[in-house]
Amino acid sequence: MLYGFYPVDEKEAFQLAAIQLQATFGLQQQGFYKSGIIVDQVDKYLPYQYVTKYKTEAENKILERHGEYQHLDKQDAYRKYIEFMRKSSANIYFGCCFFPCVRVSRLKKAQNEDQEDLFVGVSENGVIFIHPITKEIMERYKMEEILTYGFRSNAFLFVAGTLMTQKKYQFATMLGKQMNDLLRAQIDLRVQQAEVQGYNIMA
């Protein structure tokens, strides 16, 4: 979020900063949370575009929103932060680990055209392809749409969609194994959760 890769709006950014403040210092005596507490570190709480020339202004906006969270201890504040992120306007990005890749297209390669740079994000929600400059989502596949995947030393291979309308992707990357392992771990977690829910239903 701090570097502008997680596209939260201004309202959400200050709300998250207020929760982060509570998660950092936890329960304190009355009067602890006052002007000047993070004025020199406000850029660690907000994306760069919301840190104004006058850092005290940004800090005051955080403190204005902080009151509703000052009853939380550190762990509860961290849980609140995660809960907020899951429900934010950009929750599709939540939990993503992004990998810089180049999409390899046989057609473009045959025509000597430039290949496509992008970020591939892997999370519990599935896989998304992000434009490296605009940060817009180019493609999105839920976990249940992932048909098969694999890797080589310099590539990550991916097939998604349905059995009738599947699409194949090949990405040039030196992180293929890491992408493969993370995706497998997310799918295995989904399977385990489904088994637990099924057990609870049977019980």
Residue 172's beta-bridge partner residues? 102, 155
pLDDT of residue 109: 55
pLDDT of residue 174: 96
Half-sphere exposure of 16 (CA within 13 A, CB side): 25
Token representation of residue 70: 């000052």
Q: What confidence tier does 202 reach under pLDDT thresholds 50, 70, 90?
A: very low
Could you read off the pLDDT of 154-194 as tens digits, one per residue? Answer: 999 999 998 889 999 999 999 999 999 999 999 998 888 88
pLDDT of residue 3: 54
CA end-to-end span of the chain: 42
pTM: 0.66
Place of tokens 């497998």: 184
Could you read off the pLDDT of 8-54 as tens digits, one per residue? Answer: 788 999 999 999 999 999 999 999 999 999 999 999 999 888 887 78
Measure the CA–CA gap between 176 and 182, rounded to whole angstroms: 10
Please give the single-letter amino acid code of residue 98: F
Residue 103's beta-bridge partner residues? 116, 171
Half-sphere exposure of 20 (CA within 13 A, CB side): 19
CB 126 within 8 A of CB 143: yes
Domains and CATH numbers, the chain: 10-91 (1.20.80.10), 95-202 (2.30.29.30)
